[in-house]
Structure 1
Amino acid sequence: MIVSARGAGATRLLEQSNGDMLTPSVVGLGDVGSVFVGKAAKERLTTHPERTISSFKRYMGTNHAITLGDLSLWPEEVSAFVLRSLKADAEAFFKDEVTEVVISVPAYFNEHQRKATIAARRLAGLKVRRIINEPTAAALAYGFSEVPEGATA
């Protein structure tokens, strides 16, 4: 996750609660209803495949229901689990509530998939300032970290 506090003048990659810099788009359900997101869910993918999903992004913007354990969820609902996890990590970092975000999506996402992502943010309690392509986000992150000393970004 790339973060920038308004007015702080610095942009950086934010460590997740587990210490990783990236969060895989994987969601899993525990036996008692707990939700696993990212690396923790990915580790459960082989042991609990019926309770874990890793390919839900491809279904964004469709009417494809995703079965996760005993639940039947829309892709937007699964995506909201990831957004809530990222929101919690950002709030822990900033020690403040996070309400506005810029979300990156795969470059191949069409308009329906982008609208579904906006619906997911609503479920996660976030206001989307902008949706950008993942390659653009990567370029921005690289560019911000490579700004020569004395230059302004």
Structure 2
Amino acid sequence: MTKKLAIGIDLGTTYSCVGVFRNDNIEIFHNNEGFRITPSCVSLDDEEVLVGNSTVYQSGMNIENTIFNIKRIIGRDFDEENVQNDIKRFPFKVINKNNRPYVQVKYKRNIEEYTPEEISSNILSEMKGIAEDYLGEKVTDAVISVPAYFNDTQRKATIDAGKIAGLNVLQIINEPTAAALAYGFNNKIKSIENILVIDLGGGTYDISLLSIINGKYEVKAISGDTHFGGEDFNERLIDYFIDEINSKYGKDIRSDSNYYKIKNRLKSACERCKIQLPPKKCKMDPIEIFNLFNGINFKSNLTRARFEELNKDLFNELLKPIKDVINFTKINKSDINEIALIGGSTHIQKVQDIISSYFDGKELKKK
């Protein structure tokens, strides 16, 4: 009898992916567009529910019913400060029901309310479908990764999302632990004393210190912030350019009836700008947006120095959880054998510079 395969799902704040371990090999599946990562976005309209890339393509036309960053509020209380801060920036409506956040959207011409678990289940269903298309068979068993600093309520909420998606969640695994497993396997590491895994993604920041002894993994300490990631850098850029628009054109787009549509276009431009900044270049590629509002074509530039100044307080937060892990285990930073960087936001040069400087120039293993 053929053993039933279990898939692994990385349910990310901004992107998700799915894969399997078989034939002594890790396989990450491609979606229908040929990408190994899929946007963690869900959009509802008068006819259907869209997930992934298709939501991004039409988000400008349906911005108030396009849901993203849902991971930032899953398993949380409505009155939490971080949740309230996120709600202020979301273009979709989040309401309070028994101190739980519910997303309120228009679907099939009706006003509907959904829990973060229900929204997340759509993303998990998409991952399940990608796996089934790739494997050519039905899939039910899954392991889902979550931030190391997710509390029990957030972990249970993730399991509930999996159940809604028709998955049997075998295990919830910490994202840095999953990364260390893949890192150790891919590099054929049998024994190493201290691996520091630094995972800075779209919405969460995780630090894990692990050891590998004779192929067995032990997590020694974890730390992090479940509300810190690349989206926070993006928001700083968006606010900066909104202020510039106000200064140049005397227009505060925050009071515009199409604010969220304008912001969505600005956000996409800021994300591209941030990603495309080469490590040794002082100036980012210019932001150019045709007809951003009222027939105005917006163009601007941003220096690396200004980008780093805008996010100075965020960069200053990077070392605290790293120091917490080292202090908890009572080792010296010189005892760290390898440092593995994962998550899209670790590609930011300033992030790498801060970490490398703290560890006295030690080589960083970049995914």
TM-score, structure 1 normalization = 0.84
* Whole-angstrom CA distance in 1 between matches of 2:73 and 2:187: 35
Same amino acid, percent of matched pairs: 41
Deviation at 1:24, TM superposition (A): 2.0
Partner of 1:73: 114
1:116 aligns with 2:157: yes
* 1:32-66, Cα deviation, whole Å (9 max, x unpaired): 1x111122223333331111010211221131101
- Aligned to 1:46, the other structure's residue is in SS state helix
Q: Is the 8 A contact 1:12 1:141 kept in 2?
A: no
Structure 1 residues 37 and 146: alpha-carbon distance in aligned structure 2, compared to 1, 3 A threshold = farther
The aligned residue for residue 38 of structure 1 is 52
Q: Give the paired residue count.
A: 147
* Structure 1 unmatched ranges of 5 or more: none
The one of the two structures with greater contact order (alpha-carbon pairs below 8 A, sep at least 6) is 1
Measure the CA separation in 1 of the matches of 2:35 and 2:150.
Answer: 26
Of 129, 133, 138 in structure 2, the residue corresponding to residue 88 of structure 1 is: 129
CA shift in 2, pair 1:4/1:72, >3 Å? same
Aligned to 1:3: 19
How far apart, CA to CA, are the structure 1 residues paired with 2:140 and 2:30?
19
- TM-score, normalization: structure 2? 0.37
For structure 2, the 5+ residue unaligned runs are 1-16, 77-99, 190-214, 216-367
**Aligned partners of 1:103 and 1:115: how far apart in 2?**
11
In structure 2, C-alpha distance between the alignment counterparts of 1:132 and 1:77, rounded to whole Å: 21
Q: Does residue 47 of the first structure (1) align with residue 61 of the second (2)?
A: yes
* 1:14 equivalent among 11, 29, 34: 29
- For 1:98 and 1:57, the matched residues in 2 are separated by 23
Larger mean CA deviation between 130-139 and 48-57 belongs to 130-139
Distance in 1 between the 2:33 and 2:149 partners? 29
Kept in 1: contact 2:103–2:113 (CA 8 A): yes
Matching residue's letter, 1:130? Q
The separation in 2 between residues aligned to 1:139 and 1:2, in whole angstroms, is 17
Deviation at 1:91, TM superposition (A): 0.5
Per the alignment, do residues 71 and 2 of structure 1 end up closer, same or farther by CA in structure 2, a change over 3 Å counting?
Answer: same
Larger fraction in strand: 2
Q: State the Cα deviation string for residues 57-81 of structure 1 (Å, max 9, x = none).
A: 1221131101232221001100110
Give the residue type in structure 1 aligned to 2:29.
L
Does the 8 A contact of 1:42 with 1:54 survive in 2?
Answer: no
Structure 1 stretches (4+) deviating beyond 4 angstroms? none
Deviation at 1:143, TM superposition (A): 4.1
Q: Which residue of 2 aligns with 1:135?
A: 176
Q: AA paired with 1:75?
A: P
The code of the aligned residue for 2:175 comes to: E
Which deviates further from its counterpart, 115-124 or 130-139?
130-139
Provide the residue aligned with 2:205 in structure 1.
none
